[in-house]
Amino acid sequence: MHHVHIREGVASDHDALVSIDDVARNEPARVSFIERSLASALCLVAERAGRVVGYGVLEYTFFDNGFVSMVHVAEPTRRQGVGRRLLEALADRCTTRKLFTSTNASNTPMQRLLDRLGYVPSGTVENLDPGDPELFCFLDLGERTG
């Protein structure tokens, strides 16, 4: 098991992120999201042995709070701690006291990970994905300096 290196994404990561994101292969909107994230949000990239294996995006568009709008790990690398490292790195870089994220009700692995990291349920929104409500979660980052 190789060490996971987390770094800020750069424009030249575009093709690598699209290639590991199975949704991006079929949905132009996801490709646009990746382009916007690399340009304007905090996009962190996870690498293992020099290969991109995941990415995470932190925005401040959710009522001016930090919001993790994406954590995606390449299929063969899932359940090996990459998502956890990305979430921890995004929380470390978050400049607001409150950090939110969301996941589908069907995504139990992500829900378990968020629970282990101390996120608490913060409400549910229907009608985003048919029959699969979006569960919002919250992490109080407390009084941090720096």
Q: What is the mean pLDDT of residues 96-115?
A: 95
When pLDDT is averaged across residues 103-128 and rounded to a whole number, the result is 94
Which pLDDT score is estimated for 35? 94
Confidence of residue 105 (pLDDT cuts 50, 70, 90): very high
Which tokens belong to 56?
């995470």
**Is pLDDT at 146 greater than 70 in this prediction?**
no
Query: 133: helix, coil or strand?
Result: coil
pLDDT tier for residue 128 given thresholds of 50, 70 and 90 = confident
pLDDT, mean over the chain: 92
Superfamily of domain 4-140: Gcn5-related N-acetyltransferase (GNAT) (3.40.630.30)
Q: Where are the alpha helices (DSSP H) in the chain?
A: 14-20, 28-40, 82-93, 108-116
Domain spans in the chain, listed from the N-terminal domain onward = 4-140
Q: What is the pLDDT of residue 144?
A: 58
143 band by pLDDT with thresholds 50, 70 and 90: low
At residue 122, the pLDDT reads 95
Q: Where are the beta strands (DSSP E) in the chain?
A: 4-8, 42-48, 51-62, 65-73, 98-104, 120-125, 134-140
Spatial separation of the C-alpha atoms in residues 119 and 41, rounded to whole Å:
22
Give mean pLDDT, residues 67-80.
Answer: 93
pTM here? 0.91
Question: Tokens standing for 109?
Answer: 């692995």
